[in-house]
């Protein structure tokens, strides 16, 4: 089984900030916008290097979406950044009309996603955003797993022709993928090959899944870990291929039970290869204040809980 090394904990939003600078250097059409969260979104380096291409929008997210659509109409490639809740739920109708139905090439940079935003509590911890964005026709939904992959996914999002929802987070998490690994929107990355169970996940839970696979290996169970860095369009063939080998899966996500990765995978599996699935998610509830580590444990997003869920899935074969 392939072992991954934590190259040092770092926040995925910093990967976005670094990727944004790289995308800006590659393509002069790239502009960055935020609603009073330049520092939180790690846009400082971009703003310093490209002051004319950084557009501060103030605390007015709805207007920011419309302005981005207008800039995209003129040929720019705007990234609009805010906390996940404020750049999805707060502006759903704006994204629907101005970006999705308007067919504008806007990239949504969504930071502080999920409960691991931590201490700010449930008003800021969206667990519904993937569902909202998946529901929009033509919207790509990308959830990279660490700093390096978020950086590479940001560059890929800039190059993608069409709207992209790019989700990342606040807490420092292990950085374990290669810095220059190619990233392709629409592809599942098989992190580990295995034969007994698939652990299908996205975002920083990929690291937890890899740790779970090591725990399971010690118990003689071979787990395959799938990094679904693009939740939509979903690489269905990769999901089915893995399940053909393993015969069961755990689908884990830092999102509630509705409309996220779990239901996306379940709909493919139901149609193409009915197989036992276990789900680890935020169920039907709001988050609460706490440290990211406390919340990960309380919500069962940690490696030990994923390993337990994997065994449960195997038991249902």
Partner 1 sequence: MANPQELSRIASQVRRDIVRMVTTAKSGHPGGSLGITDVMTALYFNEMKHDPKTWTRDAKGQDAFIISAGHLAPVYYSVLARAGYFDPKELGTLRKFGSLLQGHPCVTDHLPGVFQSSGSLGQGLSCAAGIALGKKLDGAPERVYCLLGDGESEEGQIWEAGMWAAHHKLDNLIAFTDWNGQQIDGPVEAVGGVGDLRDKWTAFGWDVIEAEGHDFESILKAFELAHAADGKPKMILFHTEMGHGVDFMAGTHKWHGKAPSPEQCEEAMKQLEETLGDY
Is there a contact between 199 and 224 (Cβ–Cβ < 8 Å)?
yes
76 near partner 1, rule: CB under 8 A: yes
Distance CA(128)–CA(257), nearest Å, equals 9
Stretch near partner 1 under the rule CB under 8 A, chosen from 72-80, 226-234, 267-275, 292-300: 72-80
Choose the catalytic residue: 61, 85, 224, 253: 61
Distance CA(189)–CA(177), nearest Å, equals 11
State both tokens at 312: 């449960």
Stretch near partner 1 under the rule CB under 8 A, chosen from 47-55, 226-234, 242-250, 297-305: 47-55
Return the residue of 49, 93, 119, 283 that touches partner 1, per CB under 8 A.
93
DSSP string, 160-209: SSS-EEEE--SSEEE--S-TT----TT--EEEE--SSEEEEE-TTHHHHH
102-131 residues in contact with partner 1 (CB under 8 A) are 102-104
Return the residue of 66, 171, 203, 260 that touches partner 1, per CB under 8 A.
66
Stretch near partner 1 under the rule CB under 8 A, chosen from 36-44, 92-100, 177-185, 283-291: 92-100
Is there a contact between 55 and 33 (Cβ–Cβ < 8 Å)?
yes
Return the residue of 94, 154, 175, 201 that touches partner 1, per CB under 8 A.
94
- Indicate the helix (H) or strand (E) that contains 78: strand 77-83
Strand segments, DSSP code E, in 206-289 are 223-227, 230-232, 249-252, 277-280
Distance CA(292)–CA(223), nearest Å, equals 26
69 near partner 1, rule: CB under 8 A: yes
Active site residue 61: yes
Return the residue of 8, 101, 178, 298 that touches partner 1, per CB under 8 A.
101
65 near partner 1, rule: CB under 8 A: yes
Active site residues: 61
Query: Residues interacting with partner 1, by CB under 8 A?
Result: 31, 52-53, 55, 57-58, 60, 62-76, 93-94, 96-98, 101-104
């Amino acid at each position: 089984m392939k072992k991954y090394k934590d190259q040092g904990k770092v926040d995925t939003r910093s990967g976005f900030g670094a990727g944004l600078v790289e995308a800006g250097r590659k393509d002069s059409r790239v502009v960055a916008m935020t609603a009073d969260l330049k520092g939180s979104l790690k846009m400082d380096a971009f703003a310093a290097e490209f002051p004319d291409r950084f557009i501060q929008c103030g605390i007015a997210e709805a207007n920011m979406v419309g302005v981005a659509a207008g800039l995209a109409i003129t040929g720019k490639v705007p990234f609009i950044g805010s906390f996940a809740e404020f750049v999805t739920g707060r502006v759903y109708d704006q994204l629907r009309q101005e970006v999705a139905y308007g067919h504008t090439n806007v990239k949504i940079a969504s930071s502080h996603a999920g409960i691991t935003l931590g201490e700010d509590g449930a008003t800021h911890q969206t667990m519904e955003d993937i569902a909202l964005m998946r529901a929009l026709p033509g919207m790509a939904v990308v959830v990279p797993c660490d700093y390096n992959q978020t950086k590479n996914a940001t560059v890929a999002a800039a190059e993608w022709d069409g709207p992209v929802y790019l989700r990342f987070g606040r807490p420092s998490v292990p950085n374990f993928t290669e810095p220059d690994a190619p990233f392709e929107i629409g592809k599942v990355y098989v992190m580990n090959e295995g034969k007994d169970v698939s652990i299908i996940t996205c975002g920083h839970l990929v690291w937890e899944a890899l740790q779970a696979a090591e725990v399971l290996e010690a118990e003689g169970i071979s787990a395959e870990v799938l990094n679904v860095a693009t939740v939509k369009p979903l690489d269905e063939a990769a999901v089915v291929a893995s399940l053909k080998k393993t015969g069961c899966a755990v689908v884990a996500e830092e999102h509630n039970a509705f409309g996220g990765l779990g239901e996306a995978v379940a709909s493919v599996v139901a149609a193409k290869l009915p197989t036992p699935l276990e789900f680890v998610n935020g169920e039907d509830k709001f988050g609460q204040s706490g440290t990211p580590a406390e919340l990960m444990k309380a919500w069962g997003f940690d490696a030990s809980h994923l390993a337990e869920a994997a065994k449960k899935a195997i038991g249902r074969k």
